[in-house]
Structure 1
Amino acid sequence: MTAEPTGAEPAKTSLWRDRNFTTFWAGQALGQFGAQLGQLALPVLAVTLLQASELQVGVLNAAGMAAFLAVGLPAGAWVDRWLKRRTMITADLVRMAAMVTVPFLWWSGSLEIWHLYAVAGILGTATVFFDVAYQSYVPVLVPAAHVQEANSKLEATAAIARIGGPAAGGALLAVVSAPVLFVGEAAGYLLSAVFLRRTRDSEERMPAAARRPLPVEIREGLSFVVRHPLISRVAACTGGMNFSGMLIYTLMPVLVLRNLGLGPQGMGLIMTLGAAGGLLGAVLAPRVAARIGEGTAIPVCAVASSVFVLLVPLAGVVSEPAASLVLLGVSEIGFGFSVLVYNVLQLTMRQRVCPPRLLGRMNASIRFAVWGVMPLAALASGYLGEHLGLVPTMLIGAAGSFLATAPVLFSPLRTMRTLPDEVLPDEVQEGAVQEDALLEDGTLEDGVPGDGSGGGRG
């Protein structure tokens, strides 16, 4: 792949003056707003209209995330071969088509829970390809000096959409049925595709001669992640926290809608408060990094998010619904803030230190590791929720979240004020360059067998 950022202006120039970035940003803002309507509609539809059990809610969440296990790794290699903008457009159109089937099935009186499983699976598969391409596209679209600024702006906008989307969805649910919100989500995906179509970049497709067997390319991405001393720790922490978090958040709709009786409006309010915290985190991430250090902020935010997660099971044992709502609101605000700061900083580091030709495979390897555990956690959450109860399952998730912070808490990140912004020399020698020497039969040029496992950390 050869790609040059379209914005060649000096680093001091604002991205708001870059037409391609603003077009891309506008499409993602509209797409995110539409997607948030569906984020609220899906659990409301399953829990209140289809009367889904805890286990069925777990299966539904697992269906939406199973694609990260099934196609997560090859998706990165494929995205590196394809044009990223075209990949995102195709994924948006597939997601739009999946969404519009739900209201049609509902209005015809034939909607069943297994239909939602299928829609969630299709949506999840398309999202895998969209997200891998999306995370790899920012360094193609903007100059390297603007990557953190671009990530911050995109995350802030996504957080604004997460504020307005659930709030609007909760209000709409007072007058319309949940399936109608799926039309809004489909419209969001369509608008995202339209604006992506209008975005311009200079990315070129990887030449066919430069491609190697898919397993070799997948192994190269995994090797880079495993060998990098910082990315590997971030991946381990994020994967552990995602597994633990899914034990809690899979059952959140059951807790809010059924056990606490807060209704769709309460669910929308809680999601909106979480998004507000996320917006603050996205906007203030550079200031937090400047104040306590870019590296230090990562473990600090990991621990802080675990503290706020603990408030969710506590809300489940409070007898007064209003007090439970306050606890859940505080939890969501604090969790949203700390997670967004964490995400902006670790994503920017990954984009800085990864060679451009490996971006898709690196991001796919990360997603496979940190999102691939989530369908397993969703199934475990549904099973434990039915057999142990909601609150005990959530307490297990909260304890696991604290344990998951260890890889970054006990690492060089804890005292690192500035994160690296270039590929580390030993990583070049032991990771990507060594993998470049792999032949099609899986051996190295000097005849030493390739281990195929990604090796140890360099």
Structure 2
Amino acid sequence: MSTPVSPARRLPVVLRNPSFGTVWVGQLLTQMASRMFQVGAVWWLVGFAGGERRGLASGLFLMVSTLPAVALAPVVARVVARYAHRTVLAVAAATAGVCAGAAAVWAYTGTLPVPAAYAAGLALAACQALFDPCLTTSVPELVEDADIEAATGFELATQSIAGLVGGLLGPLVVDAGGLAGVVAGCAGAYLLAALLIASVRFPHATAPQGPVDGAAPERRTLRSILGGLPFVRRVLVCFAAANVFTTAVYVVMPLYTRGVLHSTGSTVASLEVALGAGTLLGSFTGGRLPGRPTVLGSICLAVMAGALALPGLFTGHLPAAGALVVAGWCVGVIGVRFVALFQRLVPAGDKAGFFAAMQALLGATFPVTSLVFGALGDHLSARALCLVQGAGLVPVAIALWWLGGRADDSEPEPSAGSGRPVALAGDAS
């Protein structure tokens, strides 16, 4: 006879856990603001301020906006390990709000120069580079162990919702009132997030580690953390290679809109919504799909390759939007399966360093990708760039499939009827 489930347990974790729900809203606000500024600034450069080198200007902006996640990874790991996570999250959001507010004042009192927009993007990205891995590390402090995967799904879904809202608002606000309205909205969202996070309690938090008998506690380096997880390290390398081609979509979409569809910011917004909606759907359905994570991931990468290449073969708004929904769904499925797996696999003491290393490794290719695809966009058509994206993902999908075949003795099979990943044998602590 099955045990009845209480009504409270039927509620989503964001509703039955007020602390997590409040922090989740704060995450939604910060990532929405970050995405709105990024997409809005790229469209501002492509449609208004980029001059003849629109591709290079937008690619350079995206490169600047992604450098902090890579360059600051060791610093982020130390800060997240040393200080209370609630404090780190609130201070990061508040600092971003102040920076965005200063840019908004400058933009409203005069024309914001392009270098100043780059500087604002760099500052906001630095705050987000601290906020995101700290939040991921904080999930076990906010929820019970049984809710970790559900909370991870909501955490990853936030990026999709932020993509939906921020990607929709960014180009539309730029078309309506320039970059000034975008940075003003970002400032308000960041400051509200800081207030929300500062107001809640992290019920399962432990005190930050401090010196013992006057000596600093021993902390493992990022290299040693990844060195102790060889299977995870190889998976991350595969996804870093995939990011070379998947993240180029943020450069290609505005160029495709202007050069192929000959449309406005509303079209960029609709394509961003399509990508975000697909990722959101994948985040909530990925845990229900059967199969090993590497097998499922390789299939998703192959499907994504076809989806990203489709607009290069068949032009039009509808094929592009449909392709981005499919590509986003694949991203969401991969994210929720592998991040939930890593949450259980990585020892608690190493999580701060691991998630900072993960963010740095996966983001290491983004600055180069943005610059290269942006520069190529001034010489190749956007349709050709779509085909390059699709072709580049094919060998990565094959490599991940091969990795899964080699790891058949160490990678667990999810239990029947459950999409919940478990720790890899031999790598778990």
Q: TM-score, normalised by structure 2?
A: 0.86
For residue 18 of structure 1, what is the aligned residue in structure 2? 17
Moved more, 195-204 or 256-265: 256-265
For residue 46 of structure 2, what is the aligned residue in structure 1? 47
For residue 163 of structure 1, what is the aligned residue in structure 2? 164
Q: 1:116 to 1:210 in 2, by over 3 A?
A: farther
Q: 1:371 to 1:17 in 2, by over 3 A?
A: same
> Structure 2 counterpart of 1:45, which letter?
W
How far, CA to CA, are the matches of 1:305 and 1:390 in structure 2?
18
> Structure 2 counterpart of 1:148, which letter?
E
Q: 1:255 to 1:100 in 2, by over 3 A?
A: farther
For residue 368 of structure 2, what is the aligned residue in structure 1? 376
Match of 1:348 among 340, 344, 364: 340
For residue 210 of structure 2, what is the aligned residue in structure 1? 207
1:27 aligns with 2:23: no
1:397 aligns with 2:393: no
After the TM superposition, which residues 367-446 of structure 1 pair with which residues of structure 2 at under 5 Å, given as runs?
Answer: 367-412=359-404, 416-418=412-414, 421-422=422-423, 424-425=425-426, 428=429
Displacement, 1:337? 0.7
> Structure 1 counterpart of 2:27, which letter?
Q
After the TM superposition, which residues 100-249 of structure 1 pair with which residues of structure 2 at under 5 Å, given as runs?
Answer: 100-169=101-170, 171-173=172-174, 175-201=176-202, 202-209=205-212, 217=219, 219=221, 221-249=222-250
Displacement, 1:213? 8.0
Q: 1:206 to 1:312 in 2, by over 3 A?
A: farther
For residue 4 of structure 2, what is the aligned residue in structure 1? none
Displacement, 1:157? 4.2
Percent identical pairs in the alignment equals 20
How far, CA to CA, are the matches of 1:365 and 1:198 in structure 2?
29
How far, CA to CA, are the matches of 1:140 and 1:60 in structure 2?
35
* 1:242 and 1:373 in contact (8 A); partners too: yes
How far, CA to CA, are the matches of 2:136 and 2:346 in structure 1?
12
How far, CA to CA, are the matches of 2:110 and 2:266 in structure 1?
25
For residue 363 of structure 1, what is the aligned residue in structure 2? 355
* 2:307 and 2:390 in contact (8 A); partners too: no
Q: 1:203 to 1:49 in 2, by over 3 A?
A: farther
How far, CA to CA, are the matches of 1:109 and 1:93 in structure 2?
24
How far, CA to CA, are the matches of 1:368 and 1:83 in structure 2?
22
For residue 305 of structure 1, what is the aligned residue in structure 2? 304
1:329 aligns with 2:321: yes
> Structure 2 counterpart of 1:17, which letter?
R
* 2:298 and 2:401 in contact (8 A); partners too: yes
Displacement, 1:352? 0.4
Moved more, 59-68 or 301-310: 301-310
1:75 aligns with 2:67: no
Q: Which runs of 5+ in 2 are unaligned?
A: 1-7, 415-419
Cα deviations by residue, 1:196-237 (Å, 9 ceiling, x for unpaired): 1112123311112399889x8462x32232442431232012
How far, CA to CA, are the matches of 1:407 and 1:217 in structure 2?
33
Q: 1:76 to 1:383 in 2, by over 3 A?
A: same
How far, CA to CA, are the matches of 2:39 and 2:328 in structure 1?
17
Q: TM-score, normalised by structure 1?
A: 0.81
Counterpart secondary structure, 2:112? coil
How far, CA to CA, are the matches of 1:409 and 1:293 in structure 2?
10
Root mean square deviation, CA, Å: 2.8
Q: 1:103 to 1:240 in 2, by over 3 A?
A: same
Moved more, 76-85 or 391-400: 391-400
Displacement, 1:142? 1.2
* 1:11 and 1:146 in contact (8 A); partners too: no
> Structure 2 counterpart of 1:111, which letter?
L
Q: 1:209 to 1:391 in 2, by over 3 A?
A: farther
Cα deviations by residue, 1:24-74 (Å, 9 ceiling, x for unpaired): 123223334444432331112222221252212121111011112321233
Cα deviations by residue, 1:273-309 (Å, 9 ceiling, x for unpaired): 1111112111212222xx3455532222222222212
How far, CA to CA, are the matches of 2:398 and 2:57 in structure 1?
32
> Structure 1 counterpart of 2:283, which letter?
A
1:86 aligns with 2:87: yes
* 1:58 and 1:378 in contact (8 A); partners too: yes
Q: 1:122 to 1:168 in 2, by over 3 A?
A: closer
* 2:107 and 2:179 in contact (8 A); partners too: no
Counterpart secondary structure, 1:240? helix
How far, CA to CA, are the matches of 1:287 and 1:49 in structure 2?
44
* 1:57 and 1:250 in contact (8 A); partners too: yes
Counterpart secondary structure, 1:27? helix
How far, CA to CA, are the matches of 2:99 and 2:356 in structure 1?
23
Counterpart secondary structure, 1:242? helix
How far, CA to CA, are the matches of 2:424 and 2:209 in structure 1?
21
Q: 1:380 to 1:114 in 2, by over 3 A?
A: same
* 1:224 and 1:427 in contact (8 A); partners too: no
Q: 1:136 to 1:184 in 2, by over 3 A?
A: same
1:314 aligns with 2:320: no
* 2:43 and 2:265 in contact (8 A); partners too: yes
Q: 1:172 to 1:127 in 2, by over 3 A?
A: closer
* 1:35 and 1:188 in contact (8 A); partners too: no
Cα deviations by residue, 1:341-375 (Å, 9 ceiling, x for unpaired): 10011001111011111101011111111101111
Moved more, 361-370 or 104-113: 104-113
How far, CA to CA, are the matches of 2:17 and 2:214 in structure 1?
33
Displacement, 1:163? 2.5
How far, CA to CA, are the matches of 2:69 and 2:388 in structure 1?
24
> Structure 2 counterpart of 1:224, which letter?
I
How far, CA to CA, are the matches of 1:390 and 1:42 in structure 2?
19
> Structure 2 counterpart of 1:198, which letter?
S
Displacement, 1:336? 0.9
> Structure 2 counterpart of 1:386, which letter?
D
Q: 1:338 to 1:144 in 2, by over 3 A?
A: same
How far, CA to CA, are the matches of 1:380 and 1:210 in structure 2?
51
* 1:95 and 1:122 in contact (8 A); partners too: yes
Displacement, 1:424? 4.4
> Structure 1 counterpart of 2:139, which letter?
V
Cα deviations by residue, 1:422-443 (Å, 9 ceiling, x for unpaired): 4744665xxxxxxxxxxxxxxx
